Structure 1
Amino acid sequence: MDLLKSFDATLVFGFIVTFMALNFTPGPAVLKVVGDSISNGIGRTHASMAGVFGANLMYALLAAGGMSALLLSFPVLFETVKWIGVAYLLYLAYGSFKAAFTASLGEAKEQKPASALKLFLTSFAMQGANPKSVLSFGAMLPVFAGEGDGMALRMMALALFNIALEYPALLFYAYLGTRASKFAVSARSRAAMDAFAGTALAGAAYMISKSTLKTQ
């Protein structure tokens, strides 16, 4: 079977429009990337983006294997994962606020950037605990893939294609965060940037806490 010929052009167009809108709309992933870029720079933040993509692909694989329906049928289990993710994001936010307070006292020290592995894992955990990721890749993706032979392959192809759609959006927000941090040359401005990073992480936690698998 020719994979490209098996796609429905109308559904693919709908997928592009829908996911482009979702990708550029500020959500938990965007806020996490902004917070990471302020503290770690745009280059290292690519590991954070990879964590987001990895979690999305995980749910796409579950959907392709028919397991997402099982997950959607037991929201209580996912709620547990969600709140663990919220708690961890708040912990990260606390660290940024603490750094901001220290900097405001004129005791700022050069912060060591987070490792690429840590950025990847924290973003993977954040996106994995995001109900909107489950809905997008577990519930919406099968619709855009269309029914019939090769549905699972089309779902994975669309999930991979979404990386090309989402990467520019996350890169744009990471660029804004990095540019903003360049102005943090004094202790006061450094404190402001750390506080903003903490606010972004806390905002991501709030957005995840307010979303649910019953949203759609």
Structure 2
Amino acid sequence: MISLPFLLTALVVVLIPGTGVIYTVAIGLGRGRRASLWAALGCTFGIVPALVAATLGLAAVMHTSALAYHALRWAGVAYLLYLAWQALRSGGALRVDPDQGSEPGWRTALRGVLINALNPKLSIFFLALLPPFLSGDPTAASREMLVLGAVFMVLTFIVFAGYGVMAAVARDRVLSSPRALRWLSRGIAALFAGLAGKLAVERA
């Protein structure tokens, strides 16, 4: 069940920069190492709803229900656009700024949870990724899905934390350049806006 092919496949998937990685890196640049670990933790726990949906078969139901799928999709689009705005506005949560104040870790983590929880593609992704690695025993399928999902979550946290720590290490150099600060904030905003656009035009 937990085989080398599964671990390699999961690691490759997690290493590919996506919305969660961009968020964690932005937090690392803007708020430092500790905050980036909270961001990574939030993105990791944001996987739970999609994993449970895939395990219980709810992902397939949602995939066939246009209303449920599109409602979740447009909520995700709106949230990504909100994050883009947060990267641009003065004092925004994702703005890279030397005067950026601190915030409770749970709030940083909550944004990470919402990033993944509002992505309807994630449950469909698990429905496609995990079954090929199951043992084939129908009575153990749900348990094995949850175990594989838990391993995927551990890899997610480790990789995202690594991205965040590297961003935090680069933070001092970035903060010393006002021009870099402006372009980084604009770049983060553009990335989130682009991801929102991509999610908006994707088909179920």
TM-score bracket relative to the smaller structure: 0.7 to 0.9
The answer to whether the Cα contact below 8 Å between 1:181 and 1:193 also exists between their aligned partners in 2 is no
Trace 1:66-81 onto structure 2 (pairs within 5 A). 66-81=57-72
Choose which of 134, 146, 150 in structure 2 pairs with 1:145: 134
Q: Distance in 1 between matches of 2:98 and 2:166?
A: 23
| Between 164-173 and 187-196, the greater mean CA deviation after superposition | 187-196
TM-score (norm 1): 0.78
Say whether residues 1:22 and 2:13 are aligned partners. Answer: yes
Counterpart in the other structure of 1:119 = 108
Change (3 A) 1:210 1:60: same
Choose which of 30, 37, 44 in structure 2 pairs with 1:46: 37
Choose which of 159, 167, 182 in structure 2 pairs with 1:177: 167
Larger radius of gyration: 1
CA RMSD of aligned residues (A): 2.5
Choose which of 146, 150, 155 in structure 2 pairs with 1:160: 150
Quote the offset at 1:199 in angstroms.
3.3
Change (3 A) 1:142 1:75: farther
The answer to whether the Cα contact below 8 Å between 2:47 and 2:153 also exists between their aligned partners in 1 is no
The answer to whether the Cα contact below 8 Å between 1:59 and 1:138 also exists between their aligned partners in 2 is no
Change (3 A) 1:141 1:59: same
Quote the offset at 1:207 in angstroms.
4.2
Choose which of 26, 29, 53 in structure 2 pairs with 1:35: 26
Residue identity in the other structure for 2:119: N
Quote the offset at 1:186 in angstroms.
4.6
The answer to whether the Cα contact below 8 Å between 1:131 and 1:208 also exists between their aligned partners in 2 is no
Change (3 A) 1:199 1:172: farther
Residue segments in structure 1 that go unaligned for 5+ positions in a row: 1-6, 101-107
TM-score (norm 2): 0.82
Counterpart in the other structure of 2:94 = none
Change (3 A) 1:51 1:212: farther
Say whether residues 1:94 and 2:85 are aligned partners. Answer: yes
Quote the offset at 1:157 in angstroms.
0.7
- The SS at the match of 2:149 is helix
Percent identity (aligned): 21
The answer to whether the Cα contact below 8 Å between 1:68 and 1:139 also exists between their aligned partners in 2 is no
Q: Distance in 1 between matches of 2:113 and 2:74?
A: 15
